[in-house]
Structure 1
């Protein structure tokens, strides 16, 4: 809180060294201070489970909850009509430590409504994966594959009618799913696709666990969090604080371009979005380059977008903050998804 009070006075003098608006600059300073001071037990105490948040969100939004319970006990929650022609399977962010929040669900509900308004009969299915430290990698990847196996093999849904998406750690998980389908991870059950997924969108994907790169310095006062909390979360997710604990599935930026060539057999089109002001942007840009060379070189269609003066998953933060007007980053992602469904 003290950081936010100080920022109230210093923010007008930050210029482009700070966030894109006075409100965000002060709010981000407060978020950095709070997130960096908490331990895992405190994060768990302060944040209800995804399924509990979903029940309350459904009540507040006026729709009846509709949940899939998989054989493992893992749940996935529908936002919209589960019988819709098109399904967005979504993996939420939060460093693999935080459950999904109501802002993320509102963002997804708005995206679903925008798709329907554009004539695309669409619903969203949100995976309530088990968070760390209770569950470590590759548990979340196993649960994601279990959900897709249920949709494709049990419900007989056509992958061509399924779009995959995720923000931050959920973007990491989405990439892990694509990697596993192209190069099966021996620690995770396999899934053979009858056809390719049509599209995938990645919002500020957490592709690198390296917090000692230049964007963590240049964007230190522009983003909502910093390296302290990311090091805590990645160690909880991997079960190790070693800088070499990640692999191609959990830390995608470490994979060479050739590794992504096989993903062209899994999905047709991929959008990768990043904010120019986020601390993760250097890792995202490196992943963009390798993915475009590998996946794109093998015939996949890649769209990359970096929005100036935008922080980590800016469009979701805008929804959480109560902004009524959709910003440029929000429009880029939403329009891309609408056009691919």
Structure 2
């Protein structure tokens, strides 16, 4: 057992208890002040409180404390499948990754999905519940020919960039080589850091990362989407300040997570898709692209800037900005906003039109 995974010492447990009191104090305080938040706060009272507590939690607890409190992605998947009376269908992949099937794994089309969480947090129950909800919505509309292949990648600090990208490429390689599907029947998608990975894998197809085995495909993928994709680690856009008290993310959180991911390396086009020269995207290997963002998230400016330039070389791009939505709200505020957010609806509609 690594030192990271060893149980907390008595003193560390005391520190954790103190940190819990700090977070509780924040909850009690914000529960009162949220009534007077005005336009500087999140639209919904409960979302405002939840996001304020989330920000405090992520910067008060140490990274190790946060991960030890959480449930690993693969175990969350097992629990999710058990809750639906289904047997887990997990596939070991190269380089330590695993893929988990949701839906009928023999469906004609497959969505390879990369979860968010700053490359640090595990996949959450809400990730699986959201994707299952999306499948249900598609099935109701007569599109019952899609399965989801959900990747468990190694989170930081147990592995750092480009390990997560290498594992993401392997998930696509598996679907292509082991299931025999045509690229025309494969979608890539992800939320937040997972949106970063979906774009980075797409970039790797035409401009291979120098440390990762190339992957050539015979024809373009059916499509790629990023839900609130973390495309740049720069935090100099106006939305960072404008949405500082609305969103679940903060500058401190994002700086911490990007530093852990890069681990001293300089950013590059595969770690931050916004760094890629725009002409790198001209021969993009995907028929269609969808990107979404929340109007009230701090990443909005960086996503806006990237999409504006991206669409000039990839005109088959749809961009949806959801009013009054904070970062990745269908996952991280699901208990409050539910799963049928504007961004969820945009993804379901976009997929349905291509199935």
Is the contact between residue 271 and residue 302 of structure 1 (CA under 8 Å) also seen in structure 2? yes
Aligned residue for 2:349?
335
Give distance in 1, aligned partners of 2:328 and 2:348.
Answer: 13
**Under a length normalisation based on structure 2, what TM-score does the superposition of the two structures give?**
0.90
1:274 aligns with 2:293: yes
Unaligned runs of 5+ in 1: none
Q: What residue number does 1:314 align with?
A: 329
Residue equivalent to 1:289: 308
Residue 322 of structure 1, CA deviation: 5.6
Greater mean deviation of Cα atoms: 115-124 or 273-282:
115-124
| Deviation for aligned residue 1:49 | 1.4
| Distance (whole Å) between structure 1 residues aligned to residue 219 and residue 297 of structure 2 | 35
User: Partner of 2:110: helix, strand, or coil?
Assistant: strand
CA–CA separation in structure 2 for the residues paired with 1:260 and 1:136: 25
Residue 115 (structure 1) aligns with:
138
Q: Secondary structure of 1:11's match?
A: helix
TM-score by length of 1: 0.93
Q: Is 2:328 the partner of 1:305?
A: no
Unaligned runs of 5+ in 2: 1-23
Q: Distance in 2 between matches of 1:325 and 1:101?
A: 14
CA contact (8 A) 1:114 1:338 kept: no
CA distance in 2, matches of 1:208, 1:71: 28
Mapped to 2, the partners of 1:290 and 1:38 lie a distance apart of: 38
Classify 1:254/1:71 alpha carbon distance in 2 versus 1 (closer, same or farther; 3 Å): closer
Q: Deviations over 1:176-214 (max 9, x none)?
A: 001111211111111110221111111000011123432
Question: Secondary structure of 2:210's match?
Answer: coil
Contact preservation (8 Å) 1:36, 1:225: no
Q: Residue 195 in 1 paired to residue 215 in 2? A: no
Specify the alignment match of 1:211 in structure 2.
Answer: 235
Is 1:160 aligned to 2:184, yes or no? Answer: yes
The 1-side partners of 2:197 and 2:28 are apart by: 36
- The residue number in structure 1 matching 2:19 is none
Residue number in structure 2 paired with 1:68: 91
Please give the per-residue CA displacement for 1:146-187, whole angstroms capped at 9, x wherever unaligned. 121121123211111111100000000001001111211111
CA–CA distance in 1 between the matches of 2:206 and 2:246?
36
**Contact persistence 1:199–1:267 (CA under 8 A):** yes
Q: Displacement of 1:255 after TM fit?
A: 2.2
Retained in 1: the 8 A contact 2:130–2:339? no
Check conservation: 1:183, 1:262, Cα contact below 8 A. no
